[in-house]
Amino acid sequence: MTNDMHEPERYHAEYKVIGGKLVVADVETDGKHITEVKISGDFFLEPEEAYFDLAPALVGASVIADNANLRQRLDAALAGYGSELAMHGFSTSDIATVVRRALGSAANFTDFDWQVIRGQVLPTQVNVALDQVLLEEVAAGRRKPTLRFWEWDDTATVIGAFQSYVNELRPEGVEKYGVQVVRRISGGGAMFMEGGNCITYSMFVPPSLVAGLDYEESYVFLDQWVLAALKSLGVEAFYKPINDISSTGGKIGGAAQKRLRDGTLLHHATMSYDIDADKMVEVLRIGEAKISDKGVSSAKKRVDPLRSQTGEARKDIIDVMANTFADRYGASFDTFTADELEKAQALVDEKFGTEKWTHRVP
């Protein structure tokens, strides 16, 4: 007789809810459907009986079910408790997320040997090119997952991959201040970058780290170390969907992402340190809504949330950020290789420094 029984496929994932508790999923499947699941963690749930309805609600779900489907199953199972139901430190959406991360064989930050680069001063064109180079190097396995901080001393504006050049920039301001305009590979908005006026970092992330997370969740997840670093500096920072880093004192900065087809991810953010708002509005076509969002209400103002809210020098803030990341995830410090810098310069010549790329969206 042949035995058609197959060993169940087993998966495990842990998910720390942003501002909440740890939720853990141990999942078994037959390859097509969830056959058994255990949800655990340090969360609070009342009444206690509701806990025993969580796992049965997920059994039978497809292994490719999305967050909405899994959450719907859980909500239906808990609906009978009505106003008695109290979930503290987590939600049904968080349970769905950790199950999806388990099924996607998600990894944690500490599963990787991270490198941190405190980059030397480079032209903004080279900094933008390095994002593409390091993303491709990590995807190819030639570089370990990396966090790198930008340094530059030119005056530049970095525009998003899909922004219109003429809609975003004022030619007279660009010419007046000798602004270097560079288009990056990720979406999002324009960044006015004079040397020392903001803090920019880029992360090069393996696909498994963000497995099971949707677009919005990945932003918050990847920047938890940033929020922790800012908190240690006295700034109560938080994410404002989808990609803004804000605080009780107003917006600090924004993030953007670019994913390769294999899922390898570039995640980067720019945070305002001490921006000359008058010069910025001469260079960028910023509408009233944007000006209000950046905290610029009148002339002769500066956008300086990190300087004013921390009272620290820019270098000292970057020191705290880099050390927070290294301490949390066991990262070591590294440098660019000669080959990476050569590839970046070649990309400047072939792509990022060309009119064709810069004006690809006129």
Band of pLDDT at residue 2, cut at 50, 70 and 90 = very low
Q: Is residue 245 part of a domain?
A: yes
Q: Which residues contact 25 (CB under 8 A, 6 or more apart)?
A: 11, 12, 13, 14, 15, 37, 38, 39, 95, 98, 99, 101, 102
| Tokens 């090119």 found at | 129
DSSP line for 305-349: HHHHHH---HHHHHHHHHHHHHHHHT-EEE---HHHHHHHHHHII
Of 316, 298, 297, nearest in space to 306 by CA: 316
Question: Range of 206's domain?
Answer: 109-359
* Interatomic CA distance for residues 12 and 37, integer angstroms: 10
Domain total for the chain? 2
In the predicted structure, residue 292 carries a pLDDT above the cut 80: no
Percent of the chain surpassing pLDDT 70: 94
For the stretch 349-355, contacts whose Cβ atoms lie closer than 8 Å and that sit 24 or more positions apart, written own/partner, are 351/129, 352/125, 352/128, 352/129, 352/182, 352/183, 353/125
Of 28, 18, 158, nearest in space to 89 by CA: 18
Q: How far is CA 147 from the centre of its chain?
A: 12
Boundary-marking domain end, from 103, 135, 155: 103
Q: What is the DSSP letter of 99?
A: H
Of 58, 151, 162, nearest in space to 103 by CA: 58
For the segment 225-249, what is each residue's pLDDT rounded down to a tens digit?
999 999 999 999 999 988 999 998 8
From 88-92, 284-288, 350-354, the region with the lowest mean pLDDT: 284-288
For the segment 5-36, what is each residue's pLDDT rounded down to a tens digit?
678 999 999 999 988 999 999 999 999 999 99
* Residue 148 shares a structural domain with residue 193: yes
* Residue 35 shares a structural domain with residue 176: no
* Interatomic CA distance for residues 241 and 250, integer angstroms: 14
* Residue 114 shares a structural domain with residue 228: yes
Band of pLDDT at residue 295, cut at 50, 70 and 90 = low
* Interatomic CA distance for residues 148 and 115, integer angstroms: 8
Of 132, 147, 222, nearest in space to 183 by CA: 132
Q: Is residue 3 part of a domain?
A: no
Band of pLDDT at residue 341, cut at 50, 70 and 90 = very high
From 64-78, 153-167, 182-196, 300-314, the region with the lowest mean pLDDT: 300-314
Signed CA dihedral, 42, 45, 50, 53: sign only: negative
Boundary-marking domain end, from 75, 103, 131: 103
Q: Is residue 254 part of a domain?
A: yes
CATH classification of the domain holding 77: 3.30.390.50
Q: How far is CA 258 from the centre of its chain?
A: 10
Band of pLDDT at residue 250, cut at 50, 70 and 90 = confident
> Is residue 45 helix, strand or coil?
strand
Whole-number pLDDT of residue 1: 42
Whole-number pLDDT of residue 196: 93
Band of pLDDT at residue 301, cut at 50, 70 and 90 = low
CATH classification of the domain holding 347: 3.30.930.10
Average pLDDT rounded to a whole number, residues 292-298: 52
86, 46 Cβ separation under 8 angstroms: yes
DSSP line for 113-151: --EEEEPPP--HHHHHHHHHHHHHHHHHTSS--EEEE--
- The length of the chain in residues reads 362
Boundary-marking domain end, from 103, 123, 140: 103
